[in-house]
Amino acid sequence: MLFNDSVLSFDLAEVLETFIATFKVESVLPYLLALITAGICGAAIGVERTLRQKEAGIRTHIIVALGSALIMVVSKYGFFDIVGYADHVNLDGARLAAQVVTGISFLGAGIIVYKGTVKGLTTAAGVWTTAGIGLAAGAGMYGIAVYATLILLIVQIVVHKILPVENTSTAAITVKLKQDVEAIETTSNLLKDNGYTIISCDVEKRNEKIVCMYTVRAKSHINPEEINALLSVNDFVISVSV
């Protein structure tokens, strides 16, 4: 690539003046408004996830929305200074922002956990949508960003309350038992009698002990301490891991 002298030469005073100007509120106010809007929308979504004790909470959603908005702002406005250096410079404001849609998938994959059952799909989808809301705010589409946030919150809260399947939680429980013919049946009945539905149960024998790996479902949030207290009264139980 060839550069002319005008591109390579800089006026230090002019560079410093431009640098200082970037900190003036009036020069960054539209961009700052985009970041604040995205942050507020992300916080609103994160509060609902935190109250439900999900994998990604307030800080994660704020950071996702803020980062997406920042990338969108840079994608739209960050390259105007190079337009004057060539007669045929074409800028695509969506190219950099489009990478957010792909990149956020890695974060979503990290949220999803598989331990006998899949967990975190809804939260991962919410984080992905939050990235879209951040892009909308960064593009200056404040109204649609707020409306999308409201719609997402309605889906997360209302559907959770209406559909019985949504109003449940699952957990993976590993129980180490004494080697006895009644150990598995007694433990399973103890879980069932206390409102837990056993989805699956894998049994292994290790060092003259029985290891049961349960996947259970309950109609409310599953508290590991409650399960430990429940199974500890069973004389066959050696240890419990939730």
232 & 156 share domain:
no
Tokens encoding 27: 């020069």
17 & 37 share domain:
yes
Q: Is residue 130 part of a domain?
A: yes
The predicted model scores a pTM of: 0.58
Candidates 100, 83, 120, 111; CA nearest to 7 is 83
Q: What mean pLDDT is predicted for residues 198-226?
A: 81
Cβ atoms 138, 68 nearer than 8 A:
yes
159-173 per-position pLDDT tens digit: 767 665 555 677 788
Identity at 39, one-letter amino acid code: G
Comparing 7-21, 90-104, 177-191, 216-230, the range with the smallest average pLDDT is 7-21
User: Which distant-in-sequence residues (6+ apart) come within 8 Å of 232 by Cβ?
Assistant: 240
219 & 144 share domain:
no
Q: Is residue 2 part of a domain?
A: no
Residue where a domain terminates, one of 162, 185, 202: 162
User: Which distant-in-sequence residues (6+ apart) come within 8 Å of 122 by Cβ?
Assistant: 54, 156
Mean pLDDT of the chain: 78
Confidence of residue 71 (pLDDT cuts 50, 70, 90): confident
User: Which distant-in-sequence residues (6+ apart) come within 8 Å of 188 by Cβ?
Assistant: 198, 201, 214
Q: The CATH number of the domain where 199 resides is what?
A: 3.30.70.260
Confidence of residue 16 (pLDDT cuts 50, 70, 90): confident
34-47 per-position pLDDT tens digit: 888 998 998 888 88
Q: What mean pLDDT is predicted for residues 128-152?
A: 87
**Strand ranges of the sheet holding 237-241, from the earlier edge strand across to the other edge:** 197-206, 209-218, 169-178, 237-241
pLDDT at residue number 15: 72
Q: Is residue 118 part of a domain?
A: yes
Taking CA atoms, 38 is separated from 48, 136, 138, 143, in Å, by 16, 8, 7, 11
